[in-house]
Structure 1
Amino acid sequence: MKTEQIACPDNDSFRCPLARSPDRLSARWLPALAAQLVRDVGALITRAAPGHQRVATFAIDGEVRFASAADRAAFAEEPAS
């Protein structure tokens, strides 16, 4: 079993082994992933602060809408396969 950790909504610490298969289509997955992002960026900022270094980041913001639930399900299924 791999020891690396990823964001996982299935327990209180929001971490689980990679060997487990988290439900990435679950609504609980998104806040867990966001929590992991906050921890990771926070750690980068904390390490950079003593040297007065800036942390370069890149983000993309977007909005996707679907005409129907069936269209959304088809979109979600394609990347998973």
Structure 2
Amino acid sequence: MDREQVKAGDTVYVIYRNPHAANVAVIKEAEVVQHPADENDVALFLYDTYHELLPDDAVFTDYKEAEKLYNELFDQESYEM
């Protein structure tokens, strides 16, 4: 989903990587909100924290879309030797 398509009040799904464990990721529901420091921008509200919405963030309007990419990226079979 293009960043320009989201607006404050939208509910989206993101693939969120744990900042303390790079190999841990989950699909989380997030809310698009008015950016707290820039009234002309939006941010993601996730885990009770504002996150800047960056152009390369994987943001989805549908959980199944997020799950499809998640499975492609983190499919355990692809890591087996």
Q: TM-score, normalised by structure 1?
A: 0.24
Higher share of residues assigned helix: 1
> Highest Rg: 1 or 2?
1
TM-score, normalised to structure 2, is 0.24
**Structure number with higher strand proportion:** 2
Higher-RCO chain (CA-CA 8 Å, sequence separation at least 6): 2
